[in-house]
Amino acid sequence: MTRVAILISGGGSNMLRLVQAMHDGGFATPVLVASNDLQAAGLAKAAAHGVATAAVDHRSFGRDRAAFEAQLLQPILAAKPDVLCLAGFMRVLTPDFVRQFEGRMLNIHPSLLPKYPGLHTHQRALDAGDAQAGCSVHEVTAELDAGPILGQAVVPVLPGDTAETLAARVLIQEHLLYPQVLRRFVAGDRTPLMLEGSA
């Protein structure tokens, strides 16, 4: 059975959908949920679903990303994952870390990549006057938010939208898209999945 580890930084709503999809669908097994924040609310959600957890506070390593990652890698490698999913994980990973999982590491990003890599994606879409927004699941490569697209979900931008209302609409689609993309990825299907979200 394919073993999946998930990295989170906060609430872990995407992680939770992935864990529930694996438990319900039986297409893979979640072997670890790890975070860079010991207070991440998603850690308790993972534990409540019987998934092992680990946390390493990145702040105690200052600017030494490599030292933080070396610490974080210990529980990850011990869990022997076949696939690594970033889900609301807010740290930029070094190329050395990525290289260890190249070709089997996914991330969900709240924009229609290649538009708006990085942060504040919804505000940037509003500022640009975009008629549509959405989210992307992509393979993680050394370049930030730039790997092959495995799936996207599109939602309309509505009059009066704020970054918050748009984020809420996109998050609904994230929760639908990521589990479906992970299931296909585990089955060896890398054809991009395109979803059309409602208003």
Contact residues for ligand GRF, defined by CB under 6 A: 8, 10-15, 42, 87-88, 108, 110, 171, 174
Nearest distance from C-beta of residue 121 to ligand GRF, angstroms = 8
Beta-carbon count within 10 A of 168 CB: 12
Cα separation, 5 vs 155, whole angstroms: 28
Nearest distance from C-beta of residue 90 to ligand GRF, angstroms = 7
| Closest-CA residue to 19 (of 8, 33, 9) | 33
Catalytic site includes residue 23: no
Q: Which two tokens stand for residue 6?
A: 């998930």
Q: Which of 23, 58, 109, 138 is catalytic?
A: 109
Beta-carbon count within 10 A of 140 CB: 25
Nearest distance from C-beta of residue 48 to ligand GRF, angstroms = 15
Nearer to ligand GRF, 70 or 123 (CB): 123
Overall residue count recorded for the chain in this entry: 199
Nearer to ligand GRF, 15 or 140 (CB): 15
Nearer to ligand GRF, 108 or 186 (CB): 108
Nearest distance from C-beta of residue 179 to ligand GRF, angstroms = 12
Cα separation, 110 vs 50, whole angstroms: 28
Residue 19 makes CB contacts below 8 A (sequence gap 6+) with: 6, 30, 33, 46, 49, 51
Q: Are strands 149-156 and 132-139 parallel, antiparallel or unpaired?
A: antiparallel
Catalytic residue IDs: 109
